[in-house]
Amino acid sequence: MDITELTVHELKEKLDKCEITSEEITKSYLKRIDEKESDINAFVTRLDEDAINKAKEIDSEKKANKKLGEYAGIPIGIKDNMCTKGIKTTCSSKMLENFISPYDGTVVNKLLNEENMINLGKLNMDEFAMGSSTENSYFKKTRNPWDIERVPGGSSGGSAAAVAANMVPWALGSDTGGSIRQPASLCGVVGLKPTYGLVSRYGLVAFASSLDQIGPITKDVRDSAILLSLIAGKDEKDTTSVDIPKKDYTLSLKNDVKGLKIGVPKEFFGDGINKEVKDVLYKAIEKYRELGAIVEETSLNIAEYALAAYYIIACAEASSNLGRFDGIRYGYRTKNYETLKDIFVNSRSEGFGAEVKRRIILGTYVLSSGYYDAYYKKAQQVRTLVKNEFAKNLKKYDILLTPTSPITAFKLGEKSENPLEMYLSDICTVSVNVAGLPRNFNSLRIR
């Protein structure tokens, strides 16, 4: 039996039955990482020694009947934009190459300190979560485990690739415009972007505050439901988190779709969508029908506008959120300065990569006086329309079925010279972030 091929719920069963120890699990994963990392490049920071030590500690605490979390001793990988106390949090940026957070974010705290999971390391991503291929990392380009010539998607490419390559049993990603779902799709794993406000953002380095959500990347749907149950919940430190009763999402898993009303928005099956992708979806639709679901075509006539609104809002918020990386308190500071302005300008020019700078400039532009009304304000109005359009559809249907990415995994370097084309590849995912709020709405993608 190869331990690393098991899902988390399978691992947990074995742990509970004392058929296996946390140390054994951890060692198996570390061995697997050793084998695969040179091909995959999923990790920014590896924590081998800490992981083994903690696993041993948990095993002995378990023996001593100490009260531990339900998933104590299960390893996890964490996207490198979530703050981990005492461990580097780089956002895959030169700007934060040596940044060590003085605190644990809420979700990290829940999983590592309360649940006693084992952190195998921090996972690669597009710099500051900006990108769809993980090629924008300052450190390394993560590769798709199915074909290492191809990208794993992004920005949570390290998380998706690590799960797909069995280097971690599950991982945390973050999704601002598809950054969990698209890499999960490209790597063939399960990714879920929770409803905005369901999971605390405290400790998630902000890209676009009104869109960002942390979510699970897992091997199967049950693990996704488990991890979501563990991370969801109101947090006093994040006023945008929503106060709803704690829920065990695994209870909603039933092996039956009979009577489930599925809406298929026709706009998501247009010209831009690759035939291969469409064929898979049509097959899935047939399968659902066979199993007794009611599948109907519907209209969600806002996808294009949502994409435009998304890039305006996300860049605007990012331009402000990334202002704190100014070379003063932490992070990269230029060596080349005489005046205060030099510190600001040169630190940011040297510390940020091209894509991050592009979005900061875009965001600064759309917020500038004279342009605010035409761009930012208009985008917010579009946002309301998108939300209403979703609400209307979700009154009729239990779920909406759309592709996640218009294309399958592309080759490294294939799109990185054309940012606009890269932006367009987000068309299927962003409208959900823009709509943001509908409670208990999720965009679970099953591959």
Partner 1 sequence: MSRDDYEVVIGLEVHAELSTKTKIFCSCKTEFGGEPNTHCCPVCMAMPGALPVLNEKVLEYAVKAGLAMNCTISRDSKNDRKNYFYPDLPKSYQISQFDKPLCEHGYVEIVKPDGEKKKIGITRIHIEEDAGKLNHDDYGRGSLVDLNRAGVPLIEIVSEPDMRSVEEADIYLKKVKSILEYIEVSDCKMQEGSLRADVNISVRKKGQKEFGTRTEMKNMNSFKSISRALEYEIERQIDVIENGGIIEQETLRWDEVSGKTFSMRDKEDAHDYRYFPEPDLVPIRLSEEYIENIRKNLPELPETRKQRYLSEYKLTEKEANTLTASKYLSDFFEKGVKISNNPKAVCNWLLSDVARILNEKEFEPEDIPFTPEDLAELIGLIDKGTISSKIAKDVLEEMFESSKSPSKIIEEKGWIQISDESAIKEIVLKIISENPQSVSDFKNGKDRALGFLVGQAMKETKGKANPQMLNTMFKELM
| Residues near partner 1, by CB under 8 A | 81-83, 89, 91, 96, 99, 101-103, 105, 201-206, 208-210, 236-240, 316-317, 319-320, 323-324, 326, 328-330, 340, 344, 364, 367-369, 372, 376
* Closest CB to partner 1 among residues 136, 241: 241
* Closest CB to partner 1 among residues 229, 320: 320
Please state the closest distance from residue 311 (CB atom) to partner 1, in A. 15
Backbone angles phi, psi at 147, to 5 degrees: -165, 105
Token digits of residue 50: 């800490």
Following DSSP, what letter does each residue of 80-117 receive, concatenated? TTB--TTSB--TT-GGGTT-B-SS--HHHIIIIIIS--
Of 22, 92, 101, 155, the catalytic one is 155
Of 12, 36, 54, 79, the catalytic one is 79
* Closest CB to partner 1 among residues 49, 338: 338
Please state the closest distance from residue 115 (CB atom) to partner 1, in A. 19
- Report in angstroms the alpha-carbon separations of 262 from 132, 283, 301: 27, 14, 17
* Closest CB to partner 1 among residues 185, 210: 210
Buried b / exposed e over 259-288, threshold 16 CB at 10 Å, is: eeebbbbebbbeeebeeebeeebeebbeeb
User: Is the previous residue joined to 22 through a cis bond, with omega within 30 degrees of 0?
Assistant: no
Q: Is 155 a catalytic residue?
A: yes
Of 132, 174, 179, 416, the catalytic one is 179
Write the CB contacts of 354 (distance below 8 Å, at least 6 apart in sequence). 136
Q: Is 210 a catalytic residue?
A: no
Please state the closest distance from residue 374 (CB atom) to partner 1, in A. 14
Please state the closest distance from residue 118 (CB atom) to partner 1, in A. 22
List, in sequence order, the alpha helices (H) in 180-336. Answer: 181-187, 221-231, 275-290, 303-321
Q: Is 261 a catalytic residue?
A: no
Token digits of residue 113: 């300190």
* Closest CB to partner 1 among residues 83, 125: 83
CA distance 8 to 14: 10
Please state the closest distance from residue 205 (CB atom) to partner 1, in A. 4
Residues carrying an active site annotation: 79, 155, 179
